[in-house]
C-alpha cells in the first residue's frame, strides 16, 4: 500500500533538533514527571512492576477520561498518542470502496490515511470569514455539502483546529452532524486541542451529538504531556470492540508507566489544574507574539486563534510557503511550519506555548528574511512598471 509523505511530521523529525530556533511546536511547555507526581509518594510509583498493562487502558484511566465527556469507561479505548487513536479509527472504518471527506486546513494525518485506505478523499474547508465585524475562521458549509455524498463513509474534523486555532460554533457543529446523518457516515472529531482556549469557555465537544461518532484526543497538546504518548478514542462500545481488533495489530496496549501517570493527570481536579496551567501559558505568551505579528501588518493577514498554542497567518510575499520554510531553515536556522503542510498555501504557523523570549529571538531572524523578500518584491514591481511604461510609450 502506498501512502503520501506526511510532510509536516517528516520535516519536523528531520530538522527540529538541528535548527537553533524551533518555532514549529504546537503544544505547551511539557510537564515534568515530578509535577505530575505532585503530592504522590514517588516510592509507590517506583515499585510498579513492568508488566503488560490492560490492553484498552486501565479501568481507572478510562473512568477519568469518560468523566470528562459524560460517558462511561465502556466508551473509551486508550491508545499510544492521538496519532494512534486517529490511525486505529481510520484504518478500522475505511474500506477500499469507501469515500472520506476531510476538513482542510488540517493536521494532514487523516488526509494521508484516508487517501491510502479509501477509494476517494474529498476536502471541505475552513475559510477566512467576517462575523459581527470580526475576522474568524469558519466552516464553508457549501464545500461540506459538495464534499459529502451517499458513498461517504467517514467525515473528519479537527476541532479546535490545527493549524488555524479555530473553534466551530454550535451552528457549524450542528450542520456537520446533520450532513453526516443524512449520508449515514461516521464522524471522526479530533479534539486534541480542547481545553487550551485562549479566550472564552471550554470548546464544545461533539460527544453526545450523534451516534456514529468517534472522538479522538490525548495528553499531548492541551495537557502538556506529549512524551507520555497517551491518546484515546471515545465512541460507541460496539464500534470500539471492532477497533480493538485493529489495535491488536499495532501496539496492543498503552505503556504501563504512562497509563499510571495519565491516571493521576486525568483525575477531575488535577485535569482542571493542568488545563488552567496551559491556558495561563498561552494567555501570557500570545500578546508578545501578536505584537511581532502586528509589526508586519503590511504583509500579514492575521486571525487570532481561539484555542491551541499556535498562530497561523497569511503573507503577501513572492515566495511559496514551502520555499520560505526551506530558506528560513537553511539561511537562518529557524524552523517554522509552512501552510503547504496543512493544505493551505501562503501561510506560516508559529507555535507560542514554550519560551516566548526564545520564540521572539527566532522571529528576529525571520525579520531579516522578510525584509529581503519585501525588497525583492518591490524591486520586481518597479522593473515591471518601468517595462509597462516603456511598452506604453
Ligand X SMILES: Cc1ncc(COP(=O)(O)O)c(C=O)c1O
Size of the site for ligand X (CB under 6 A): 14
Kindly state the smallest distance separating residue 139's Cβ from ligand X, in Å: 17
Question: Which of 26/152 has CB closer to ligand X?
Answer: 26
Question: Which of 192/348 has CB closer to ligand X?
Answer: 192
Stretch that binds ligand X, among 80-88, 201-209, 252-260, 269-277 (CB under 6 A): 80-88
Q: Would you say how long the chain is, in residues?
A: 393
φ, ψ (nearest 5 deg) of residue 7: -60, -40
Kindly state the smallest distance separating residue 232's Cβ from ligand X, in Å: 10
Dig out the grid coordinates for 5 from the structure: 509523505
Name which position in 22, 24, 121, 220 contacts ligand X (CB under 6 A).
Answer: 220
Question: Which of 202/319 has CB closer to ligand X?
Answer: 202
Pairing of strands 337-338, 347-351: antiparallel
Could you please report the per-residue DSSP string of 369-381? Answer: HHHHHHHHHHHHH
φ, ψ (nearest 5 deg) of residue 127: -130, 160
Give residues 256-295 in contact with ligand X (rule: CB under 6 A): none
Instruction: Round the CA-based radius of gyration of the chain to a whole number and report it.
Output: 22
If one asks whether residue 191 binds ligand X (CB under 6 A), the answer comes out as no
As separate numbers, helices (DSSP H) first and strands (DSSP E) second, the chain gives: 13, 14
Dig out the grid coordinates for 337 from the structure: 511550519
Say if residues 313 and 295 touch (Cβ distance below 8 Å). Answer: no
Give residues 106-145 in contact with ligand X (rule: CB under 6 A): 107
Give residues 81-110 in contact with ligand X (rule: CB under 6 A): 81-83, 86, 107
Q: What is the dihedral of CA 10, 350, 206, 275, to 10 degrees?
A: 110
Pairing of strands 99-104, 76-80: unpaired
Dig out the grid coordinates for 63 from the structure: 473512568
Distance CA(31)–CA(144), nearest Å, equals 38
Question: Which of 257/373 has CB closer to ligand X?
Answer: 257
Name which position in 162, 164, 285, 337 contacts ligand X (CB under 6 A).
Answer: 162
367 contacts: CB under 8 Å, gap ≥ 6: none
Question: Which of 25/172 has CB closer to ligand X?
Answer: 25
If one asks whether residue 190 binds ligand X (CB under 6 A), the answer comes out as yes
If one asks whether residue 159 binds ligand X (CB under 6 A), the answer comes out as no
Give residues 10-49 in contact with ligand X (rule: CB under 6 A): 26
If one asks whether residue 226 binds ligand X (CB under 6 A), the answer comes out as yes
Could you please report the per-residue DSSP string of 296-356? Answer: TTTTEEE---SBSSEEEEEE-SSS-HHHHHHHHHHHH-EE-EEGGGGT-SSEEEEE-SS-H
Question: Which of 112/226 has CB closer to ligand X?
Answer: 226
Kindly state the smallest distance separating residue 86's Cβ from ligand X, in Å: 6
Kindly state the smallest distance separating residue 82's Cβ from ligand X, in Å: 3
Stretch that binds ligand X, among 41-49, 55-63, 76-84, 122-130 (CB under 6 A): 76-84
Question: Which of 111/183 has CB closer to ligand X?
Answer: 111
Residues interacting with ligand X, by CB under 6 A?
26, 81-83, 86, 107, 158, 162, 190, 192, 218, 220, 226, 231
Amino acid at each position: 500500500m502506498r501512502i503520501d509523505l506526511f510532510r509536516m511530521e517528516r520535516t519536523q523529525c528531520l530538522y527540529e533538533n538541528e535548527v537553533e530556533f524551533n518555532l514549529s511546536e504546537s503544544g505547551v511547555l511539557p510537564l515534568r514527571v515530578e509535577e505530575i507526581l505532585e503530592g504522590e509518594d514517588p516510592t509507590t510509583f517506583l515499585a510498579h512492576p513492568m508488566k503488560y498493562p490492560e490492553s484498552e487502558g486501565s479501568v481507572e484511566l478510562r473512568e477519568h477520561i469518560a468523566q470528562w465527556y459524560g460517558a462511561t469507561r465502556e466508551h473509551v479505548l486508550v491508545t499510544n498518542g492521538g496519532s494512534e487513536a486517529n490511525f486505529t479509527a481510520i484504518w478500522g472504518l475505511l474500506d477500499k470502496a469507501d469515500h472520506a471527506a476531510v476538513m482542510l486546513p488540517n493536521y494532514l494525518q487523516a488526509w494521508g490515511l484516508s487517501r491510502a485506505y479509501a477509494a476517494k478523499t474529498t476536502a471541505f474547508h475552513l475559510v477566512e470569514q467576517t462575523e459581527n465585524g470580526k475576522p474568524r475562521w469558519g466552516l464553508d458549509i457549501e464545500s461540506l455539502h459538495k464534499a459529502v455524498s451517499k458513498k461517504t463513509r467517514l467525515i473528519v474534523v479537527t476541532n479546535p483546529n490545527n493549524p488555524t486555532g479555530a473553534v466551530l460554533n454550535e451552528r457549524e457543529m450542528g450542520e456537520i452532524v446533520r450532513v453526516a446523518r443524512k449520508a449515514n457516515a461516521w464522524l471522526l472529531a479530533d479534539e486534541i486541542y480542547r481545553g487550551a482556549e485562549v479566550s472564552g469557555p471550554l470548546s464544545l465537544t461533539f460527544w453526545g451529538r450523534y451516534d456514529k461518532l468517534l472522538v479522538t484526543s490525548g495528553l499531548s497538546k492541551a495537557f502538556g504531556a506529549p512524551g507520555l504518548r497517551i491518546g484515546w478514542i471515545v465512541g460507541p462500545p460496539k464500534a470500539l470492540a471492532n477497533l480493538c481488533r485493529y489495535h491488536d495489530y499495532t501496539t496492543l496496549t498503552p505503556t504501563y508507566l504512562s497509563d499510571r501517570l495519565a491516571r493521576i493527570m486525568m483525575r477531575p481536579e488535577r485535569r482542571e489544574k493542568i488545563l488552567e496551567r496551559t491556558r495561563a501559558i498561552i494567555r501570557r505568551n500570545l500578546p508578545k507574539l501578536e505584537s511581532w505579528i502586528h509589526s508586519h501588518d503590511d504583509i500579514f493577514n492575521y486571525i487570532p486563534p481561539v484555542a491551541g498554542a499556535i498562530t497561523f497567518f497569511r503573507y503577501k510575499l513572492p515566495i511559496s510557503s514551502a520555499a520560505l520554510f526551506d530558506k528560513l531553515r537553511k539561511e537562518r536556522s529557524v524552523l517554522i511550519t509552512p501552510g503547504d503542510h496543512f493544505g493551505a498555501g501562503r501561510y506560516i504557523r508559529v507555535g507560542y506555548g514554550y519560551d516566548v523570549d526564545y520564540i521572539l529571538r527566532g522571529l528576529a531572524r525571520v525579520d531579516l528574511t522578510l525584509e529581503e523578500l519585501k525588497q525583492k518584491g518591490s524591486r520586481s514591481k518597479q522593473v515591471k512598471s518601468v517595462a509597462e511604461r516603456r511598452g506604453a510609450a
